[in-house]
Each structure stands twice: as structure tokens, then as C-alpha cells.
Structure 1
Amino acid sequence: MDGERADDRAGNAVEMTLSRLRSLDSHQPAPPPADGAPRTLADLYRDHQMRMVRLATLLVDDQATAEDVVQEAFAGLHRHWSGLRDEAAAVGYLRAAVVNGSRSVLRRRRTAREYVPPHQVNARSAESLAMLSAEHQAVVDALSSLPPRQREVLVLRYYGGMSEAEIADATGISRGTVKSTASRALDAVARVMGPRSR
């Protein structure tokens, strides 16, 4: 029973922190042009670039690398622009490309760490940390300690605001795996946060 309460508290802490970040990054997209012309890639970049960078930063824990991942995602979107049916499909493509690009970065890091001593990457922007309370910073630090898939699932759920089905589509895993991974991740966050989550 105590374990379940700790998991619930950890889940609430993760949700509050990532929702706070989501609200900091949210802004209303620009309305479509008055002449009825379709939105352009530049419009999508202006409306979604910052949120995609934050998503990638939460996944790879490095601002510069996150920006590179997002640039690659937008370059891929440009290459596939004519094949996309609407803006929602374009945003879905971007999100999947950011998740996949982040996974590639983490795989390359893991390979590189086999040859060089590991080092702590903690280069989140000073601006984003300054806007978080100490409790929220502890949650972000706890997320950083999770294995990549667990971090990915929690970030997509609580920061991305995605359902289990959407996470399954974006990550290529089953809904059941999404659910069990989220549960294990919240257990781990509760353990890492220790007394703070009690």
C-alpha cells in the first residue's frame, strides 16, 4: 500500500512538473492566412519548434543535441512535405521524428560510453531551470536517471500530453508495453526521489 501511494505521489510530481514545462512552452499557433492559403513549413516551425526542442531536451538531457535532433526532424518534414495530408499529420511526423532522433542519439551515446568513461550531461538551459521550483528540478533530475524507454514514455505522456495509443504509435511499442513501462518508470522515480515523494 505504501508503495502504491509513493507511486501515486511520484506520478503526480512528474505530471505537475512536465505540465508546468508544457505550459511554459505553449502558445497559440498563428491563425491561417486570411487569404485562405495553406500554412507553410515556416509557420509550423514558428509554432512548434520550441516545444519539440523541449521534448528532445527531456529525452536526451542536452540542449544543443536536442536542437540538432529537432533541426533534423524539420529537415525530414521538408523532404516529405508534399506527401503529408494536413497540419496534424505534419505535427505527428515531427513528434515521431524527434522521438526516433533522440533514440538514435542515446544509442550513439551508449556505444561511445563503452570506449570512454561516462560523464554526466546536465546542460539543460539555465532559463528552463530558473523557471522551475526545487521540487520540479528534483523531478527532472529523477527523470534523467531513468532508462531511455521509461523516460521517453513518461515525457510523452506528461509533457507531450499523449494517450497510451499515441505513445505506442510514436514509439513503435504496444499499448500494454507503454502501460507497464510507465508503471515501472513511476516506481523508479518514487525510489529516486525517496523521502521527497513521501
Structure 2
Amino acid sequence: MSNSIDELFREFVQTRSPALLRTAFLLTGDRHLAEDLVQDALARTHRGRNRLDDLGHFEAYTRTAMYHQHVSWWRRRKVAESMPGDLTDMAQPGSDHARRTDLKLALHKALAQLTRRQRAVLVLRFFEDRSEAEAADLLNCSVGTIKSQTSKALARMREMAPNLLSAVMEEA
């Protein structure tokens, strides 16, 4: 085992873990599940680190492992998800920060009400900016499935949180 590969992996974990956790949280809707997802993906990347030669490969391998593990979880468990209680914002009402925080909370709450597959598709397509083909490849499904799940998820988001669309339009 080369020390340089271990050092590269250590640097990757230190620098990219926050971004991986954000993506995992959007996928799972739960902080603890997100941490488990990232930890599992990093463990898989660590096992294959000798086949990977730079940080870019570590990133791609880890994210792919996260998406595959998330798909595996949703196939295994068909349990209804819910958020335990309402999240509150400590910022002052009316402030720009408070408004952004309210939007983030509304987005997280709406995402948590989607199915795992719909949430994964939206995260890949709009948060990760992946093409339909890339998302289909990562989730091991057809492009048609990505299109239909995106359409259903966006329609459900519009229905559950109509204020998000108007807020995004104001921001643009």
C-alpha cells in the first residue's frame, strides 16, 4: 500500500466530506442516515483506493457508491418516511437570512415527503446537475424512468410547496 495513495485519500475525506454529507442529506432527508450513507461510501472507496489515482476518481467513485447504496436501501425498505415535528428557525422574521432559511426548511420538508426514488432523481438532476443519461446510469434504470420520476416529483413538489416556486422565481 502506497503512503501517497493513503495521503490522497485522507485529503479527499477531509476536504470533500461536507459536500458529500450535503448530498447525502438531500438524498435521505435524515442527518443520521446521511452520515451512514457517506460513511459506507467512503469505506467502499477506501477499499478500492489503490485502483484510484487522484482526488477526482475518489469523488466519482464515492458519489457513485452513495447513489447505489441509496437505491439499495429504497429497494430493501418500503417504509413511509416522515419528519418528526416541525423545524424552527432562530433567525429574525423578515431578514434575508430568515427567508433563505425558511426556504431551505420548506425544501427539506418537501423533499422528505417524496419517495426515495423521486428524491434521488431530483438531487441528481438539479443539485448535482447530472444529465438524464448520467442519472439513469447512476441509478441503474432507464432514461424514461428518470424523465417520468422527475415529472412526478416536480408535480408533487409544486403541489406540496407552491411557495418554493414563487420564491425561486423572485430570487432569479
**TM-score range normalised by the length of the shorter chain:** 0.7 to 0.9
Count of residues in Structure 1 that have an aligned counterpart in Structure 2: 154
1:50 to 18, 21, 32: 18
How far 1:153 moved relative to its partner?
0.7
CA RMSD of superposed structures (Å): 3.0
Contact 1:73/1:98 (<8 A) preserved:
yes
How far 1:109 moved relative to its partner?
4.1
Alignment match, 2:140? 172
Which runs of 5 or more residues in structure 1 are unaligned?
A: 1-36
Alignment match, 1:93? 61
Letter in 2 for 1:100: H
How far 1:134 moved relative to its partner?
1.7
Matched, 1:162 2:116: no
Q: Note the alpha carbon deviations across 1:79-126, whole angstroms, 9 max, x for none.
A: 11112254333211111111122233344542xx4xxxx673459x98
How far 1:151 moved relative to its partner?
0.8
How far 1:163 moved relative to its partner?
2.1
1:143 to 111, 114, 132: 111
Hey, what's the Cα distance between the residues in 2 that align with 1:126 and 1:52? 25
- Higher mean alpha-carbon deviation, 137-146 vs 98-107, is at 98-107
Query: In the superposition, relative to structure 1, how do residues 190 and 94 fare at CA in structure 2: closer, same or farther (>3 Å)?
Result: same
1:64-143 correspondence to structure 2 within 5 Å? 64-110=32-78, 113=79, 120-122=82-84, 132-143=100-111
Hey, what's the Cα distance between the residues in 1 that align with 2:88 and 2:45? 29
TM-score (norm 1): 0.65
Contact 1:61/1:122 (<8 A) preserved:
no
Contact 2:67/2:138 (<8 A) preserved:
yes
Relative contact order, CA 8 A, sep 6+: which one is greater?
Answer: 1
TM-score (norm 2): 0.74
How far 1:138 moved relative to its partner?
1.6
Contact 1:60/1:105 (<8 A) preserved:
no
Which runs of 5 or more residues in structure 2 are unaligned?
A: 92-96, 167-172
Contact 1:95/1:170 (<8 A) preserved:
no
Hey, what's the Cα distance between the residues in 1 that align with 2:132 and 2:54? 23
Hey, what's the Cα distance between the residues in 2 that align with 1:70 and 1:136? 21
Alignment match, 1:7? none
